[in-house]
């Protein structure tokens, strides 16, 4: 299902394939139906369509598992790429999957299984609370957070970013209660779940979209005890395999920054649990010397196909990312 090269492109020079092959893995989260005034830079259908037209014309997009195997074997095609989505948002099925299918491009969605069937990503309590509130100011002082003004989309965006940074690295239980507290003080009704439900997860493969694991509860692995991490990773794999009745062999580290969000021991766990490859949020492209259990990702944005092409071209022409943890065996 890889897109076909019909003409010579500069990407064949920058990313030649074979043993000198480079793999660029694109990372997305939500694909919104329309642009969001609070997050104008987020992916919406218009931007995603531009991206897909670019990818279809200029790149060889492969399923992630195949791409990782061929990276290791030194048999990547020129301009090799894979498309991934983190967390398991419902719009990955309802909006992105039909668009991907129309362009005949494969992708992988990494699902955090605890949020399936009505669950909520902790950050969405904050994002949806501040985005939807009808208040001009939200008083968070009893949560040891400030009183914030949310009159304009710009103020809302900046408040969301500040609050997420403040709560992101709190211990798990405290983080959840802080996020729920913020939502309550925004005085908005609990929004419907934004995540895929179980019957939606199993529909993804029909669109050429494979499913990867993203832990069960989306912890910052580096902050949790080893046993918890191993069980949480294994649980997401087992649940997805049970739902899909198929092996799940790809993994994305929650948050994904090497060293800060996961350590070498977590890479070992992922390998031992039988995942054939894993992706991080380290920015870069992979080459044959990359650790297939710590593949970096990069998504260029642009309003036109040529703007996206220039950004990706510059990225692929630069030296590869070396940001990983531990020494590769």
**Binding residues for Zn ion (CB under 5 A):** 86-87, 254
Supply the minimum distance, in Å, between the C-beta of residue 81 and Zn ion.
20
Supply the minimum distance, in Å, between the C-beta of residue 299 and Zn ion.
14
The CB-side HSE value for 234 (13 A sphere, CA atoms) comes to 10
C-beta closer to Zn ion: residue 77 or 254: 254
Q: 3-state class of 277 per DSSP?
A: strand
C-beta closer to Zn ion: residue 15 or 217: 217
Supply the minimum distance, in Å, between the C-beta of residue 252 and Zn ion.
7
Find tokens 């439900």 and name the residue. Answer: 197
Measure the CA–CA gap between 102 and 87, rounded to whole angstroms. 23
Measure the CA–CA gap between 52 and 48, rounded to whole angstroms. 6
Supply the minimum distance, in Å, between the C-beta of residue 309 and Zn ion.
28
Supply the minimum distance, in Å, between the C-beta of residue 253 and Zn ion.
8
C-beta closer to Zn ion: residue 5 or 29: 29
The CB-nearest residue to Zn ion is 86
C-beta closer to Zn ion: residue 86 or 128: 86
Bridge partners, 82 (sequence order): 25
Q: C-alpha distances in angstroms, 22 versus 74, 76, 105?
A: 10, 8, 18
Q: C-alpha distances in angstroms, 57 versus 2, 49, 50, 103, 310?
A: 11, 12, 11, 10, 14
Distance of CA 246 to the CA centre of its chain: 22
C-beta closer to Zn ion: residue 49 or 161: 161
C-beta closer to Zn ion: residue 21 or 254: 254
Supply the minimum distance, in Å, between the C-beta of residue 27 and Zn ion.
10
Nearest to 97 by CA among 117, 118, 83: 83
């Amino acid at each position: 299902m890889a897109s076909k090269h019909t003409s010579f492109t500069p990407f064949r020079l920058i990313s030649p394939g074979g043993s000198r092959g480079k793999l660029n893995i694109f990372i997305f989260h939500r694909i919104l139906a329309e642009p969001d005034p609070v997050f104008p830079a987020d992916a919406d259908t218009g931007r995603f369509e531009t991206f897909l037209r670019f990818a279809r014309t200029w790149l060889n997009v492969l399923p992630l598992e195949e791409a990782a195997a061929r990276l290791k074997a030194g048999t990547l095609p020129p301009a090799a790429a894979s498309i991934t989505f983190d967390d398991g948002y419902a719009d990955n099925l309802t909006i992105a999957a039909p668009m991907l299918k129309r362009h005949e491009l494969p992708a992988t969605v990494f699902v955090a299984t605890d949020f399936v069937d009505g669950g909520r990503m902790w950050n969405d309590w904050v994002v949806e609370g501040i985005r939807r509130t009808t208040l001009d100011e939200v008083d968070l002082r009893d949560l040891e957070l400030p009183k914030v003004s949310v009159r304009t989309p710009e103020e809302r965006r900046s408040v969301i970013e500040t609050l997420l940074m403040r709560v992101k690295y709190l211990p798990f239980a405290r983080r959840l209660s802080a996020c729920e507290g913020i939502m309550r003080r925004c005085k908005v009704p609990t929004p419907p779940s934004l995540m895929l439900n179980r019957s939606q997860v199993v529909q993804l493969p029909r669109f050429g979209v494979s499913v990867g694991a993203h832990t069960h509860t989306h912890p910052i692995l580096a902050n949790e005890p080893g046993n918890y991490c191993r069980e949480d990773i294994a649980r997401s794999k087992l649940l997805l395999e049970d739902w899909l009745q198929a092996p799940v062999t790809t993994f994305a580290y929650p948050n994904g920054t090497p060293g800060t969000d996961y350590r070498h021991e977590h890479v070992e766990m992922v390998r031992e649990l039988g995942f054939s490859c894993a992706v991080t949020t380290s920015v870069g492209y992979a080459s044959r010397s990359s650790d297939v259990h710590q593949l970096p990702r990069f998504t260029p944005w642009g309003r036109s196909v040529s703007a996206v092409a220039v950004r990706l071209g510059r990225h692929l022409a630069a030296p590869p990312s070396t940001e990983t943890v531990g020494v590769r065996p």
